[in-house]
Structure 1
Amino acid sequence: METLPDIPRVLTGVAEWAACLVYVLLRRQRLGVRRLVLVAAAALGVLVAVQELADRLPLTLWSLGMAAAVAAMFGFIVTAARVSARDAGYFAARALVLAELVAALHWQMHCFFFLPEGRPGVGWQVAFGVVLYVVAFGGAYLVETRHFRPAQPLEVSSGELASAVAIALVTFFMSNISFLNANTPFSGRLALEIFYIRTLVDLCGFVALYAQQGQRLQLRARAEVKAVDDMLRRQHEQYLQSKRSIDVVNRKYHDLKHQIAVIRAEDDEHKRASYLDDLEASVSGYAAQADTGNGVLDVVLTTKSLECAEKGVDLTYVADGAAIAFMSAMDVSAVFGNALDNAIDAVMAVPDPERRLIKVALYATGGFVLATFENYFAGELRHEDGEIVTRRADRDRHGYGLASIRYTAEKYGGSVTVNAEDSWFVLRILLPVPAAGPAVPR
């Protein structure tokens, strides 16, 4: 069999470094530009050194050299990018396959064009390698931007990490088996054939990892849409139930007024007065139904006011319900219901009962509708990639309230801003008023 040189270890180290850099640049960096450059330069030296040292190890320790290289790649990613250890492992697996693919493709083409004597000299070989690496890794960066965005949390599960690692290990093993042992059913025996098999296997591994990430995004998008849809439906059902409950309370209130009139006709003044005072005090809280000019908003505010009264929360609101007449009943219920649910949850965690305050304002100004929700909160808000996330343990079922509000606001061409300072939380929703729109169902 014709013997051709294997990929120089220096090129392998450079390929691994460039592959890691691709995924580092796809995430938000932990470091400033200067420190990132220094860390990247150090990582390049470490990866090249690891490959050179591994080249001196006996074949029986081949796996040890591979593990050291992967560990160095993992260290570079977790140091430079703002990712968890699990996410860094996921990226390291992808970077390993990408590095193997580009290095194998480069060396296959290098052997074909430059190895026979009389072909272009070293200068052309270096220029060819640089151009191929820049084009290959630049293309990989552009391709991967579709699946990885800096502001999008990765949140790789243990199973997904295990799948990625398995794909990377199988790809790496199958692409290098011919160099380890030529006497296997999967080994090639001709030099160019071996290079072709390695490149093809690495390409298949990269495609498999790319498809895995695409499937992850699809499944997550479906789960989020389903969660938001379920929440909107629950909000609407809550609105309908609340409307029925308020109707019952109002009927009861009017019945009691007639009963009070009858009781007042009793002769025993002291008993009658005492009984009437107690009776009126017991129903006075149920008579104060909100009247904002929007039937749906009235139901939400009245229901939440009753809930706040039961929990010892001071809820005050000034709302012009007519300003949101262009919004559908479900959207009004979702936005105000979720915002108030979040505010109530937050203030209930405040130890001081005097600070369990919620303020709501809704008004139109300058062609826009502005809704603000303000409340105290205790502890610290949790952020991931610039977004506030739920403090509840079950994040698969909770944490979609703010996402639902933002989704609804953007549907109407609006925006949502959040500000938290000195234990005071402010949620602002700004919506443009359309030229004309349907009235909200009453």
Structure 2
Amino acid sequence: METLPDIPRVLTGLAEWAACLVYVLLRRQRLAVPRLVAVAAAALGVLVAVQVLADHLPLTLWSLGMAASAACMFGFIVTAARVPAREAGYFAARALVLAELVAALHWQMHCFFFLAEGRPGLVWQVVFGAGVYAAAFGLASWLESRHFRPTQPLDVTPGELASAVAIALVTFFMSNISFLNANTPFSGRLGLEIFYIRTLVDLCGFVALYAQQGQRLQHRASAEVKAIDEILRRQHEQYLQSKRSIEIVNRKYHDLKHQIGVIRSEGDPSLRASYLDSLEASVSGYAAQADTGNGVLDVILTTKSLECAERGIDLTYVADGALLDFMSAMDVSAVFGNALDNAIDGVLAVPDPEKRLIKVAVYSRDRFVMMTFENYFTGELRTEDGAIVTRRADRDRHGYGLKSIRYTAEKYGGSMTVNVEERWFVLRILVPLPVGVERAPA
């Protein structure tokens, strides 16, 4: 096989540095310019030095040099971009493939134009190389900016990180295998064709990572559309509930006018007192606005209390709403709205009116917030794959309440459990308090 010069290690280090810089500049929370310049200059020296030192290692330690270079790229990104380790790893995997692609593309073109004798000299080679690097990284920066918004969080999952790292490692290995060992089924043996194969493999790796990020964004967009649909649905339900509450108040007002007239005309003091007691009992279910310390929870509990009073359900609650201040309004609404809707549906199916009870509690225990919802229910719980499913016939529109609650609890690092004993249904949600939030145990 014709012996061809491999990419100079200095150029490889430069490519890795420029690729990292592409992703650092995509983040708004990066270091201030003076510190960024200092860190970038230091990173350039380190990456070039690591590549030069790795060039003197025996072939058996090739993987060690590769790992050291990847670690330096990771350190540069996590320091300069100020992103979590998982996101820095995701960027480092992409930067590794991008660096390999640009370095391979430039060197393939360099060998074609400058390898033979009598070709342009060193100055033209430097100008040509600078032009290729600037054009390639500029194009990559523009492409990646379409997928990475400066203020948009990445929210990379462990599975997505593992997938990106796997693509990067396979791409790196397959693009360099011909230079490590020519006696494999995947090695090239035709001189300049080896460079073409390496560039093509690196291009496929970059395209695969680009497609992965596009798919991530598409999944996120779909999730946001579903979330918006859920918000609109719940807003419509709130409107209907508010309408029902107004109707309840109007009916009570109409009844009270007649009852007050009867009481006023009654001459017997004992009967008048009896009528007043009866009147007080009839309106006791329509208590004033809940006051838990959390505005969103107050609205939900007040609205649900009116609904329960109208349906003959006894809803009681003891809640320290201030414990939920670290949760978003939508998450508080999702948890308590879904939990109370499920509880109301459950107790309405109970034949005995005396057992139509719902108990709600919110309190702290150690460093956790405990939310419990308890009620009687009838029938049997249905499960599929270990998860409770809806008893309603329309399963395309129902059955997402507990899934939503579980998702919200896990979003804050918590958990949801369900326990059933002698027709008594208990839903418990345990969420850790954020650092810095101090609450006395209940």
TM range (shorter): 0.5 to 0.7
- Hey, what does 1:327 align to over in structure 2? none
Please give the per-residue CA displacement for 1:286-320, whole angstroms capped at 9, x wherever unaligned.
5999xxxxxxxxxxx9988667999899xxxxxxx
With over 3 angstroms needed to count, the CA separation of the structure-2 counterparts of 1:287 and 1:16, relative to structure 1, is closer
Check whether the contact 1:253–1:287 (CA below 8 A) recurs between aligned residues.
no
- Hey, what does 2:143 align to over in structure 1? 143
5 Å-filtered alignment, 1:37-116, equals 37-116=37-116
5 Å-filtered alignment, 1:329-408, equals 393-395=409-411
Please give the per-residue CA displacement for 1:368-422, whole angstroms capped at 9, x wherever unaligned.
xxxxxxxxxxxxxxxxxxxxxxxx644499xxxxxxxxxxxxxxxxxxxxxxxxx
With over 3 angstroms needed to count, the CA separation of the structure-2 counterparts of 1:396 and 1:232, relative to structure 1, is farther
Distance in 1, Cα, partners of 2:147 & 2:229:
24
Distance in 2, Cα, partners of 1:54 & 1:302:
65
- Hey, what does 1:376 align to over in structure 2? none
- Hey, what does 1:179 align to over in structure 2? 179
- Hey, what does 1:190 align to over in structure 2? 190
Check whether the contact 1:177–1:186 (CA below 8 A) recurs between aligned residues.
yes
- Hey, what does 1:156 align to over in structure 2? 156
Shift of 1:267: 3.1
Look up the equivalent residue of 1:16 and give its one-letter code. E
Check whether the contact 1:182–1:189 (CA below 8 A) recurs between aligned residues.
yes
Check whether the contact 2:241–2:303 (CA below 8 A) recurs between aligned residues.
no
3-state DSSP of counterpart to 1:264: helix
Gaps of 5+ in 2: 290-297, 307-315, 320-328, 338-360, 365-407, 414-436, 438-442
Look up the equivalent residue of 2:105 and give its one-letter code. L
- Hey, what does 2:19 align to over in structure 1? 19
Please give the per-residue CA displacement for 1:120-149, whole angstroms capped at 9, x wherever unaligned.
111110111111111110111011110011
Gaps of 5+ in 1: 290-300, 314-336, 352-391, 398-422, 424-442
Look up the equivalent residue of 1:168 and give its one-letter code. A
Distance in 2, Cα, partners of 1:311 & 1:250:
26
Check whether the contact 2:263–2:276 (CA below 8 A) recurs between aligned residues.
yes
Check whether the contact 1:253–1:286 (CA below 8 A) recurs between aligned residues.
no
With over 3 angstroms needed to count, the CA separation of the structure-2 counterparts of 1:340 and 1:277, relative to structure 1, is farther
Pairwise CA RMSD of aligned residues? 3.5
Shift of 1:260: 3.1
Where relative contact order (Cα < 8 A, 6+ residues apart) is larger, the structure is: 1
Check whether the contact 1:9–1:55 (CA below 8 A) recurs between aligned residues.
yes
Shift of 1:29: 3.6
Please give the per-residue CA displacement for 1:95-141, whole angstroms capped at 9, x wherever unaligned.
00000000000000011111111111111101111111111101110
- Hey, what does 2:230 align to over in structure 1? 230
With over 3 angstroms needed to count, the CA separation of the structure-2 counterparts of 1:177 and 1:288, relative to structure 1, is closer
- Hey, what does 1:323 align to over in structure 2? none
- Hey, what does 2:124 align to over in structure 1? 124
Distance in 2, Cα, partners of 1:90 & 1:251:
61
Check whether the contact 1:304–1:340 (CA below 8 A) recurs between aligned residues.
no
Distance in 1, Cα, partners of 2:288 & 2:89:
57
Distance in 2, Cα, partners of 1:67 & 1:115:
31
**2:134 pairs with 1:134:** yes
Check whether the contact 1:97–1:206 (CA below 8 A) recurs between aligned residues.
yes
